[in-house]
Amino acid sequence: MSVARPSGRASDQLRAVSIERGYTRHAPGSVLVSFGDTRVLCTASIEERGPAWKKDGGWVTAEYGMLPGATHTRGRREAAQGKQSGRTQEIQRLIGRSLRACVDLSALGTATITVDCDVLQADGGTRTASITGAYVALVDAVASLRKRGVLKRDPLFGQVAAVSVGIYRGEPVLDLDYAEDSDCECDMNVVMNEAGQFIEVQGTAEGHAFRREELDALLDLASGGIRELIEAQRSALAG
Amino acid sequence: MSVARPSGRASDQLRAVSIERGYTRHAPGSVLVSFGDTRVLCTASIEERGPAWKKDGGWVTAEYGMLPGATHTRGRREAAQGKQSGRTQEIQRLIGRSLRACVDLSALGTATITVDCDVLQADGGTRTASITGAYVALVDAVASLRKRGVLKRDPLFGQVAAVSVGIYRGEPVLDLDYAEDSDCECDMNVVMNEAGQFIEVQGTAEGHAFRREELDALLDLASGGIRELIEAQRSALAG
Amino acid sequence: MSVARPSGRASDQLRAVSIERGYTRHAPGSVLVSFGDTRVLCTASIEERGPAWKKDGGWVTAEYGMLPGATHTRGRREAAQGKQSGRTQEIQRLIGRSLRACVDLSALGTATITVDCDVLQADGGTRTASITGAYVALVDAVASLRKRGVLKRDPLFGQVAAVSVGIYRGEPVLDLDYAEDSDCECDMNVVMNEAGQFIEVQGTAEGHAFRREELDALLDLASGGIRELIEAQRSALAG
Amino acid sequence: MSVARPSGRASDQLRAVSIERGYTRHAPGSVLVSFGDTRVLCTASIEERGPAWKKDGGWVTAEYGMLPGATHTRGRREAAQGKQSGRTQEIQRLIGRSLRACVDLSALGTATITVDCDVLQADGGTRTASITGAYVALVDAVASLRKRGVLKRDPLFGQVAAVSVGIYRGEPVLDLDYAEDSDCECDMNVVMNEAGQFIEVQGTAEGHAFRREELDALLDLASGGIRELIEAQRSALAG
Amino acid sequence: MSVARPSGRASDQLRAVSIERGYTRHAPGSVLVSFGDTRVLCTASIEERGPAWKKDGGWVTAEYGMLPGATHTRGRREAAQGKQSGRTQEIQRLIGRSLRACVDLSALGTATITVDCDVLQADGGTRTASITGAYVALVDAVASLRKRGVLKRDPLFGQVAAVSVGIYRGEPVLDLDYAEDSDCECDMNVVMNEAGQFIEVQGTAEGHAFRREELDALLDLASGGIRELIEAQRSALAG
Amino acid sequence: MSVARPSGRASDQLRAVSIERGYTRHAPGSVLVSFGDTRVLCTASIEERGPAWKKDGGWVTAEYGMLPGATHTRGRREAAQGKQSGRTQEIQRLIGRSLRACVDLSALGTATITVDCDVLQADGGTRTASITGAYVALVDAVASLRKRGVLKRDPLFGQVAAVSVGIYRGEPVLDLDYAEDSDCECDMNVVMNEAGQFIEVQGTAEGHAFRREELDALLDLASGGIRELIEAQRSALAG
């Protein structure tokens, strides 16, 4: 038995995913990632110095933003507000941690790579799309460092992607869009690597606390979705 | 086989937990909670109006702070810095969501209850201690509202507590202290209710991605720890 | 006689201009405008209330931002800095004034239209591209208001576009790209309407003060360029 | 003749004073000071470098905060407000100046000692309790520096304590609690050393300007109260 | 015996005082006050509404600023820094309290009078000059309200002036200039009314704690100086 | 034919201009400039180091402020607001650029000259009065550097002044005062040097777009006005 999703998708079906490299020209990594109608521009820039608070080795970090016009109702511009919201900070810290989980920072020399994830259009899942696209931008930035002969060995030792799962009208579903997300009893963002191991698990239930077997079902769905996303990243990088 | 924890505890053993109600006199709920050497003062205050952005019903929210002298090395005072860190915001949002998971806001009238969690002494697990103590302060604040005859029915429909778990030197352990936390491969904060259901699961692996069976073991440990914390809350409330 | 421009363009030649409507789906006006390699996303959003400081009638305003990865060297994110730079504020005030020069605010009812101009890729002339694209987004937003029957009469009474001119290696040239702009003795941004009248003229000479006849030549060049841009807007709107 | 004080105290009677050392474990000085129901946690931390603006010698400074739940009506958290109030800044500057009045900074080496005074419960006189407790925390921090052999000679050359006085219903009284303070015609905070000399005198009359003989009577009361506080500090330090 | 003051003044001698009314034209009260080389522009403005936090009655408040070029070494502009220093806030709170000590707020209707004290040139004693000049500006602003028939009775019931005193090379002196102030062992700002009563007494000793007889001598000096300033205000207001 | 200006001036007539040097004593350049009732205090201060972002050579910059009491209705103090408005930033950037247009920065050694323009009284044209006065303060500051033998050659290679022009009731007029400015269809600020060349041209038409011949007439008027201002600067500097 299966509940009807607003999009008509099967409960374990991702939205159409596209990963377009070289979307802008100045940043060494520039990726437009789409999970259905969610579109995020991920650019990876390189600075030839580590962060001030770190004695040696490089660093990988991320910043996140949502263009005011990306949502149904115009959002307020955080630069004009004078600060980033708690939500924005949570998301960009999550993206940064996720990327660092597949990088050997000591092999980065003294470079800092910053991946900016700016949401051009939002339809749910902006943080998971950001992580999935940011990884590809990071690979391209690292490649440009390697081409310049700056690095002695490859700092990337894994691959990372993310997807959301949640319980929609009583049924576990994969990759929630905005219509599902806003009507969802609980949802979880899962970040995994190419070996099927967990890097981050963030599940939240404001309305309906979830039982252990629900949690298990959600993790199963997420694992399947991430296998597909890992494959999509590989295709894009092979292109 | 078992790895030696710095504290000598068994892998599934909580630190000594104490929950002291009525610690200060002005706030209707005031609890000093200790998880070992971690001590957090949780005060629940009541304002007789809902938040500006909400048309009707009440609200429950939380704020978190760490006294500068609470840690080994003095932390910078956020009020003097002019802003709350991303970490602080993440934690206070987590506490607020966790508390709301056991409150029927529509039964709160138009009251806003704010639970302030201020860490007097930090030794790991300040956010899980905060949630566990904040729940008790919330119960006392709600009781004071009921005594005043403001509420028609009890807005509390559950009980909530939290604990951390992590993989320390290869072994899953419960309720990490600072010595373990700073040497830990991955850790997870788990918030559950009295029925053993999950309210929040936040697992992070910067160093070592965790396999599904590790995740399962951590969730089992957390469930056991939270059963004890739920009991400790009940004893304190019965006192 | 003519100096060689880095791009090989004639001195009175615009870069390739493209104006793509409906670039994103949520905002009633959404335009991706390109002046060569400069690409700006302009979205026009509608709020059904005038600004707080204004007793009656509607309002048209603009906000401007540059994505950190839009330039050769990553720019700092203004939201993270906690404020908009003086340059950003100057530009967004200019865009807003330029748009209002063709709008009868009293015919807007009580709506506020905000046009967000976010630079995805920068190669000189971001403010003139923004104005030129923002006008088209504004037209689409006004059309959506009219379709809803909210407005009694058309608030738009003119058309507005903008271009930069400057003296490059001694010769007046039209529509400077980054290579020219950074090597330019003085430059001027000109905003005009479809009747060839001036809405804004902003000329700056840090290196080389310009003589009256140079000023006249620059204004002539700008007038020609803007005639073409007005035409490009019409084609896009007819499309 | 004597007016009845709300607390039933004699006009020259202090509230019960307690000074508890070693209240928390991480800071080298940690004192919980109580003046009746006013309770302040004073922790003295050491950083092994002088302040940026000072070429040589050490520094002693203070920061002050009030926990949101410390007062009858919840106060707003200054960290969330994004700035410290004028009142907070005035108080922490006063505490810092008072402490420095008994320290030979040139004997501190290059250490900075910061004393954080955080009010857990407020019932009037938080700034005078802070100074009185902060001195004891400072002594403990200096002792820890001496134990480490960092200092050549004792930088402390005096002892400092503080008390408030005011005119309550026409009569000069010592050590005002909140009930008196909020109904007081004028009040004065007095900081003195162990030799009975004045370090700070801050008297304010919004309602009732005070005559010279009233000022004299207040200063007499303060001198007597501070002698007792100096004694209480000595007992605590001897303990 | 008397120590030589840098200015050659007697120990109880004020600097040349001048109070010029009507210095600018827009504010209803506008006074340029000089204490020797210290020059402060005090303007009193009226808004026809009480402050937001006050249910009824009017309000009198003050703001203080120092022009960057007012001192020997250029000071940083607080507006550019993004906040007012602790010193600025302390001073403007002091000015406001001092003025309110001679105003019956309930007779002010719902008007708020703000007195801005901006230091054009600083040579010590800017806060006492500010208070002395601000009082005169306040009188003129109240007179303009009375002329308009807005007030039923005179809200001013007293007169207020201020002066600094200190111990310079062992001797109590009146009205310190910058050369004395920067070489002074302790100093005190005294605000009094026309009846010789005290409104504020703020004495500070960082270097040299003062004995009771020194305090008495300083208060005597201040009383004499303020009598002269009260007279100077009267002359200016009679002019 | 000529429209009646509120002030009764001819359309090409400046207000009474006065330039008073040495207005305050601490800054090496200190000028009180008046354009009619607009009065601005311009002080030029010297710091013996270039700005942080510049490898070598000196720098000239400006800051602008308006005293709260300078206008008919009290303005809010930007230092208290916590930021400078977009208008303030635009103006101070304009003043800085204008001054730098007549300075050879490489001849300034490593000095930074900051010209502060603080408006004591506003009646229109504060930015053009600021530029005109700031130039004179800059000359005095440079002279003080030369007197100290710090500079090898004169860094000033030109003279700069500014005036506003606009179309008032259909007629081009020179040097708008507040009454004209607030009722003006379009206005332009023009900065020129002593050779009659343009340094900045900033024309804005919110209400009425201007035709090329109007623009030409405005530029003619401005040229005439600036010739007189250049002369007034010379007289002041010769004085």
pLDDT at C51: 77
Question: What is each CA distance from D92 to B101, D131, E86, in whole angstroms?
Answer: 39, 10, 10
Q: Which residues pair with D122 in a beta bridge?
A: none
Chain C neighbours (≥3 Cβ pairs under 8 A) are A, F
Identify the DSSP state of D108: G
Mean pLDDT of E66-83: 94
Query: Residues of E with CB below 8 A from F120's CB?
Result: 24, 41
For A25, the closest of C37, C45, C116 (CB atoms) is C37
Confidence category of residue C125, pLDDT binned at 50, 70, 90: very high
Q: Which element (helix H / strand E) includes A144?
A: helix A126-147
Say if CB D31 and CB D46 are below 8 A apart.
Answer: no
Chain A neighbours (≥3 Cβ pairs under 8 A) are B, C
**8 Å CB contact of B209 and A201:** no
pLDDT at D155: 96
| Spatial distance between the Cα atoms of C44 and C69, rounded to a whole number of angstroms | 23
Chain C nearest-CA residue for A85: C79
**pLDDT per residue over B195-218, tens digit each?**
999 999 999 986 789 999 999 999
Q: Is the pLDDT of residue E82 over 90?
A: no
Q: Which residues pair with E161 in a beta bridge?
A: E192
Interface test with C, best of A21, A31, A33, A41 (most C CBs within 10 A): A41
Q: How far is A180 from chain C (nearest CA, A)?
A: 17
- Assess C206–F contact: CB distance below 8 Å, yes or no: yes
| Spatial distance between the Cα atoms of F59 and F112, rounded to a whole number of angstroms | 5
- Assess F11–E contact: CB distance below 8 Å, yes or no: no
- Assess C200–F contact: CB distance below 8 Å, yes or no: yes
A-to-C residue pairs, Cβ atoms closer than 8 angstroms: 103
Mean pLDDT of F176-203: 93
Instruction: Compute and round to an integer the Cα radius of gyration of chain C.
Output: 18
CA F35 to chain centre: 11
Q: Which element (helix H / strand E) includes C89?
A: helix C86-100
| Spatial distance between the Cα atoms of D117 and D64, rounded to a whole number of angstroms | 5
Which amino acid, one-letter code, is at C133? G
A126 marked as binding residue: yes
More confidently predicted of A163 and C206: A163
D88 marked as binding residue: no
Query: Residues of C with CB below 8 A from A41's CB?
Result: 67, 69, 120
pLDDT at F52: 73
Q: Which residues of chain D have pLDDT under 50?
A: 1
Q: How far is D90 from chain B (nearest CA, A)?
A: 13
Chain F nearest-CA residue for C223: F212
| Spatial distance between the Cα atoms of A197 and B210, rounded to a whole number of angstroms | 5
Q: Is residue C167 part of a domain?
A: yes
**8 Å CB contact of F69 and E24:** yes
| Spatial distance between the Cα atoms of A69 and E52, rounded to a whole number of angstroms | 34
Q: Is residue C7 part of a domain?
A: no
Interface test with F, best of C59, C84, C204, C210 (most F CBs within 10 A): C204
With tokens 């005439």, the residue in question is F224
Q: Is residue B9 part of a domain?
A: no
Q: Which element (helix H / strand E) includes E233?
A: helix E212-238
Q: Is residue B5 part of a domain?
A: no
With tokens 């990759």, the residue in question is A175
| Spatial distance between the Cα atoms of D8 and D36, rounded to a whole number of angstroms | 13
CA dihedral (F129, F134, F136, F137) positive or negative: positive
| Spatial distance between the Cα atoms of D175 and D187, rounded to a whole number of angstroms | 10
CA angle B153, B154, B159 (to 5 degrees): 160
| Spatial distance between the Cα atoms of F141 and F146, rounded to a whole number of angstroms | 9
pLDDT at F35: 98
**8 Å CB contact of C188 and F206:** no
pLDDT at C33: 98
- Assess D106–E contact: CB distance below 8 Å, yes or no: no
CA atoms within a 13 Å half-sphere pointing along the CA-CB vector of A140: 28
CA angle B213, B217, B219 (to 5 degrees): 115
For A206, the closest of B100, B196, B203 (CB atoms) is B100
Q: What is the mean pLDDT of chain A?
A: 94
- Assess B199–A contact: CB distance below 8 Å, yes or no: yes
pLDDT at B1: 47
- Assess B228–D contact: CB distance below 8 Å, yes or no: no
Query: Residues of C with CB below 8 A from F60's CB?
Result: none
- Assess B61–D contact: CB distance below 8 Å, yes or no: no
Q: Tell how strand C198-204 and strand D29-35 pair up.
A: unpaired
pLDDT at B57: 79
C125 marked as binding residue: yes
pLDDT at E212: 94
pLDDT at E206: 67
Say if CB A42 and CB A31 are below 8 A apart.
Answer: yes
Chain F nearest-CA residue for C207: F101
**pLDDT per residue over E26-39, tens digit each?**
999 999 999 999 99
Query: Residues of A with CB below 8 A from B210's CB?
Result: 197-198
A220 Cβ contact list (under 8 Å, min separation 6): none
- Assess D83–B contact: CB distance below 8 Å, yes or no: yes
Within chain A, strands assigned E span 17-21, 29-35, 38-47, 59-66, 112-121, 160-168, 171-174, 186-193, 198-204
pLDDT at B184: 79
Q: Is residue F5 part of a domain?
A: no
Q: Is residue D200 part of a domain?
A: yes
Mean pLDDT of C173-201: 93
- Assess E213–D contact: CB distance below 8 Å, yes or no: no
- Assess C86–F contact: CB distance below 8 Å, yes or no: yes
Q: Is residue E12 part of a domain?
A: no
**pLDDT per residue over E177-207, tens digit each?**
999 988 877 889 999 999 999 999 999 986 7
Q: How far is D117 from chain B (nearest CA, A)?
A: 9
**8 Å CB contact of B198 and A212:** yes
Q: What is the mean pLDDT of chain C?
A: 94
**8 Å CB contact of E195 and D209:** yes
**8 Å CB contact of C209 and F86:** no
More confidently predicted of C183 and D217: D217
- What the block records as the tokens of F107 is 């001849």
**pLDDT per residue over D177-209, tens digit each?**
999 988 877 889 999 999 999 999 999 986 789
CATH number at residue D214: 3.30.230.70
With 0-12 / 13-18 / 19 or more C-beta atoms within 10 angstroms meaning exposed / middle / buried, residue E207 is exposed
Q: How far is D198 from chain E (nearest CA, A)?
A: 5
Q: Is the pLDDT of residue C1 over 70?
A: no
Q: Is residue C6 part of a domain?
A: no
- Assess F45–E contact: CB distance below 8 Å, yes or no: yes
Q: Is the pLDDT of residue F1 over 60?
A: no
Query: Residues of A with CB below 8 A from B86's CB?
Result: 86, 89-90, 92-93
Which amino acid, one-letter code, is at D91? I
Q: Tell how strand F112-121 and strand F59-66 pair up.
A: parallel
C220 Cβ contact list (under 8 Å, min separation 6): none
Choose among E11, E36, E32: nearest CA to E178: E36
Chain F nearest-CA residue for E74: F45
pLDDT at F2: 63
- In E163-192, the residues whose Cβ lies within 8 Å of chain D are 188, 192
**pLDDT per residue over F59-76, tens digit each?**
999 999 999 999 989 999
Counted domains in chain C: 1
Q: How far is F153 from chain C (nearest CA, A)?
A: 19
**8 Å CB contact of E209 and D101:** yes
**8 Å CB contact of C200 and F205:** yes
Q: Is the pLDDT of residue C25 over 80?
A: yes
pLDDT at E172: 94
Interface test with C, best of F104, F105, F194, F206 (most C CBs within 10 A): F206
For B63, the closest of D30, D72, D80 (CB atoms) is D80
Query: b vs e for F61-70, b when ≥16 Cβ sit within 10 Å of the residue's Cβ?
Result: bbbbbbbbbb
- What the block records as the tokens of F7 is 């002030």
Domain span at residue F172? 17-238
**8 Å CB contact of B204 and A89:** no
pLDDT at D196: 96
- Assess A71–C contact: CB distance below 8 Å, yes or no: yes
Chain E neighbours (≥3 Cβ pairs under 8 A) are D, F
Chain F neighbours (≥3 Cβ pairs under 8 A) are C, E
pLDDT at B126: 98
Backbone angles phi, psi at E188, to 5 degrees: -145, 135
> pTM of the entire structure?
0.91
Q: Which residues of chain B have pLDDT under 50?
A: 1
Backbone angles phi, psi at B13, to 5 degrees: -105, 125
Identify the DSSP state of C108: S
F7 Cβ contact list (under 8 Å, min separation 6): F15, F36, F177, F179, F180
Q: Tell how strand C160-168 and strand C59-66 pair up.
A: unpaired
**8 Å CB contact of E74 and F120:** no
Backbone angles phi, psi at E11, to 5 degrees: -65, -25
- Assess A154–C contact: CB distance below 8 Å, yes or no: no
Instruction: Split chain A (239 residues) into runs of 10 and give each run's mean pLDDT.
Output: 83 98 97 98 92 82 97 93 92 96 92 97 97 98 94 94 94 95 87 97 86 95 98 96
| Spatial distance between the Cα atoms of D99 and D118, rounded to a whole number of angstroms | 16
| Spatial distance between the Cα atoms of B43 and B59, rounded to a whole number of angstroms | 16
